C-alpha cells in the first residue's frame, strides 16, 4: 500500500497543485527502492540489482536485491531502471521569464509575477530530475531567497536552492538592466548589488548576505545577453573581486564569478573565487591557474545552440547573436582543454536563458567535449554537491544523506540523451514523479 503522503505528492506533481503541509515528511515511513542499475558516483561504478532503503527523508542503507527487506516497507520497483542521485544544476536562474533579447522585460512585470514564474520554473526543474540547484542570480533582488524558503517549508514544489540574492556588478555592467533611456531611473531593487569600488563591494556583499543569500555572484566581465557590455572585457579589478571574497568569507560564504574573458577569469581565480561561470574565452594560462587554485569551472556549453536558433528565428539584435557565436565554440574548445588538464568541473546550464526543465540537454555535450559518461554524471551529482559545499547531504546515494533519487529507463549511462526523460523523482523521501508501472 502506498501511504497517503506519497500519493498526495504524486497527485500534486501530476496535477500541478502545489505541495501543502500534508507533504511534511513522515519520519517513520520506510521505502525500499529496487534498482536494476544503481550508479555509485563516489566510486564511479554501476551496481546491478540493489535495494536502497529510505527511512523518512534519509537514505538508511544500500543492500543487495536478495537481502530481506525491512518489515512494512513500501516497495518501489525500478528494476527496469537506472537509479542515480538527484541531479544538480549549478547555474540556474529560476526567477522570472526566460531571458530574451529584450533586456528591459523584467521591468514589465510585478514582483509577484516574477515570483510565480519562479514557482512554475522550480516545478519544471524538479520534475526533470534536478533535485538541487545553485541559483546564480535574479535581476530583482531576493525573489530567489523567498522561493528557496517557500520550497523548503513545503509551500512550493521545487528543487533545493542555494541562492545568490542579487548580482554584484559595476554600474552599466553585465548584471545591470541596460537599454533604458539615459534619463530613466531603474528602481533600486534591480540595482541592489551595484558596486563600483572595493569598499562598495564589501557593503553590497554584506547587504546581500544579510538579506538571506547563501553565496555571492559577482560579474567579473561583460556578458553575452547584456547589450553594450563586452564578454572579453574585465569589469572589476582583482582587488575589488578579492574584497568580495574576503567579505563573503566573514560569513562563511563563497563567491561565484561570471567571467568570459581570459583576463577577468585570471583576476577572479587569483582573488580566490570558488567558481568561474561560463569561462568562455579562457586561455591556457587561465586553465593552469584554475588547476593550481582548485577553482571550479561551471561552463554552460549547451545553451549557445539554443540562443542561436531561437535568436535567428526571433530576429534578435545582431550584436547579441554575434557575441553568442564568438563565445560558444571557443567555450567548448576551452572546456575540452580544462577536462584534459584536470580542472574541477561542475554541471551548470544557465537555465533561464533557455526553457526550464530541459536541464539534462547539456549532458551529451559534456561527453562530446571530452568527458566520459560517468564524469558527466559525476559533474551533475557529487561534484556539483562539492562545489555547493552540500556534499554532506546530497550528491550521492549513501547512508545518512537525503533521499534524493532519480531513475531513467534502461541502461541510461549508455545514452545520456535518455536523461531528458527522467521517469522517477524522489526528493527528501517524497515521490514527485513515478512511472505508472511501479504503482502497486
Using CB under 5 A as the binding rule, the residues of this chain from 42 to 61 that contact Zn ion are none
C-beta closer to Zn ion: residue 238 or 350: 350
C-beta closer to Zn ion: residue 78 or 88: 88
Q: Where are the beta strands (DSSP E) in 86-145?
A: 87-92, 130-135
| Rounded (10°) angle between helices 238-250 and 262-271 | 40
CA dist 404 and 423 (Å) reads 14
| Closest CB 350 distance from Zn ion, rounded Å | 4
C-beta closer to Zn ion: residue 65 or 179: 179
| Closest CB 278 distance from Zn ion, rounded Å | 8
Residues 6+ apart with CB under 8 A from 295: 268, 269, 273, 274, 275, 276, 289, 343, 344
| Closest CB 333 distance from Zn ion, rounded Å | 20
| Closest CB 303 distance from Zn ion, rounded Å | 9
| Closest CB 277 distance from Zn ion, rounded Å | 6
DSSP string for residues in 264-324: HHHHHHHHT-SEEEE-TT--HHHHHHHHHHT-EEE---SHHHHHHHHHHHTT--HHHHHHH
Of 64-72, 221-229, 337-345, 349-357, the window that binds Zn ion (rule: CB under 5 A) is 349-357
Task: Please report whether residue 235 would count as binding Zn ion according to CB under 5 A.
Answer: no
Residue whose CB is nearest to Zn ion in the complex, by number: 350
Specify whether the CB–CB gap between 65 and 50 falls below 8 A.
yes
Task: Please report whether residue 350 would count as binding Zn ion according to CB under 5 A.
Answer: yes
Specify whether the CB–CB gap between 189 and 229 falls below 8 A.
no
C-beta closer to Zn ion: residue 235 or 350: 350
Q: How many CA atoms lie within 13 A of 211 on its CB side?
A: 24
- Tell which residue, 229, 190, 221, has the closest CA to residue 104: 190
Using CB under 5 A as the binding rule, the residues of this chain from 271 to 300 that contact Zn ion are none
- Tell which residue, 58, 29, 39, 52, has the closest CA to residue 402: 58
C-beta closer to Zn ion: residue 241 or 407: 241
Round the CA-based radius of gyration of the chain to a whole number and report it: 21
159 three-state secondary structure: coil
| Closest CB 156 distance from Zn ion, rounded Å | 22
C-beta closer to Zn ion: residue 41 or 259: 259
CA dist 378 and 384 (Å) reads 8
| Closest CB 93 distance from Zn ion, rounded Å | 6
Count residues binding Zn ion (CB under 5 A): 1
Task: Please report whether residue 434 would count as binding Zn ion according to CB under 5 A.
Answer: no
φ and ψ at 89, to 5 degrees?
Answer: -110, 115
Site track for Zn ion across 293-332, x = CB under 5 A: ----------------------------------------
C-beta closer to Zn ion: residue 176 or 350: 350
Which cell numbers in the block locate residue 148?
528557496
C-beta closer to Zn ion: residue 173 or 423: 173
Neighbour count for residue 209 (Cβ, 10 Å): 19
| Closest CB 299 distance from Zn ion, rounded Å | 11
| Closest CB 306 distance from Zn ion, rounded Å | 13
Of 78-86, 96-104, 350-358, 402-410, the window that binds Zn ion (rule: CB under 5 A) is 350-358
Q: For binding to Zn ion (CB under 5 A), which residues are involved?
A: 350
Amino acid at each position: 500500500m502506498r501511504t497517503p503522503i506519497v500519493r498526495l505528492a504524486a497527485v500534486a506533481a501530476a496535477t500541478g497543485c502545489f505541495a501543502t503541509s500534508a507533504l511534511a515528511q513522515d519520519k517513520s515511513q520506510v521505502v525500499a527502492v529496487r534498482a536494476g542499475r544503481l550508479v555509485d558516483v563516489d566510486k564511479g561504478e554501476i551496481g546491478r540489482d540493489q535495494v536502497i532503503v529510505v527511512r523518512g527523508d534519509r537514505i538508511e542503507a544500500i543492500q543487495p536485491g536478495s537481502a530481506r527487506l525491512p518489515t512494512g516497507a513500501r516497495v518501489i520497483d525500478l528494476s527496469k531502471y537506472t537509479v542515480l542521485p538527484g541531479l544538480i544544476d549549478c547555474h540556474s536562474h529560476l526567477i522570472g521569464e526566460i531571458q530574451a533579447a529584450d533586456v528591459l522585460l523584467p521591468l514589465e512585470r510585478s514582483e509577484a509575477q516574477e515570483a510565480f514564474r519562479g514557482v512554475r520554473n522550480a516545478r519544471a526543474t524538479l520534475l526533470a530530475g534536478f533535485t538541487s540547484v545553485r541559483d546564480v542570480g535574479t535581476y530583482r533582488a531576493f525573489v530567489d531567497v523567498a522561493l528557496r524558503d517557500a520550497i523548503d517549508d513545503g509551500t512550493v514544489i521545487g528543487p533545493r536552492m542555494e541562492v545568490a540574492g542579487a548580482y554584484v556588478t559595476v554600474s552599466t555592467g553585465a548584471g545591470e538592466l541596460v537599454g533604458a533611456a539615459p534619463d530613466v531611473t531603474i528602481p533600486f531593487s534591480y540595482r541592489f548589488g551595484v558596486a563600483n569600488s572595493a569598499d562598495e563591494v564589501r557593503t553590497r556583499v554584506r547587504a546581500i548576505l544579510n538579506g538571506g543569500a547563501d553565496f555571492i555572484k559577482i560579474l567579473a566581465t561583460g556578458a553575452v545577453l547584456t547589450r553594450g557590455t563586452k564578454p572579453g572585457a574585465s569589469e572589476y579589478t582583482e582587488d575589488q573581486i578579492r574584497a568580495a571574497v574576503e567579505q563573503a568569507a566573514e560569513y562563511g560564504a563563497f563567491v561565484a564569478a561570471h567571467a568570459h574573458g581570459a583576463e577577468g577569469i585570471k583576476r577572479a581565480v587569483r582573488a580566490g573565487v570558488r567558481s568561474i561561470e561560463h569561462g568562455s574565452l579562457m586561455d591556457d594560462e587561465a586553465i593552469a591557474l584554475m588547476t593550481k587554485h582548485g577553482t571550479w569551472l561551471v561552463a554552460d556549453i549547451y545553451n549557445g545552440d539554443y540562443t542561436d536558433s531561437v535568436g535567428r528565428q526571433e530576429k534578435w539584435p545582431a550584436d547579441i547573436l554575434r557575441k553568442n557565436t564568438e563565445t560558444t565554440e571557443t567555450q567548448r574548445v576551452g572546456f575540452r582543454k580544462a577536462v584534459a588538464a584536470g580542472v574541477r568541473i561542475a554541471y551548470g546550464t544557465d537555465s533561464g536563458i533557455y526553457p526550464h526543465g530541459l536541464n539534462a540537454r547539456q549532458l551529451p555535450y559534456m561527453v562530446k567535449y571530452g568527458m566520459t559518461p560517468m564524469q558527466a554524471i559525476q559533474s551533475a551529482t557529487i561534484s556539483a554537491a562539492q562545489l555547493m559545499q552540500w556534499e554532506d547531504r546530497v550528491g550521492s546515494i549513501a547512508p545518512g544523506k537525503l533521499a534524493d533519487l532519480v531513475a531513467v529507463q534502461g541502461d541510461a549511462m549508455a545514452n545520456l540523451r535518455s536523461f531528458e526523460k527522467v521517469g522517477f523523482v524522489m526528493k527528501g523521501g517524497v515521490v514527485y514523479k513515478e512511472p505508472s508501472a511501479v504503482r502497486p
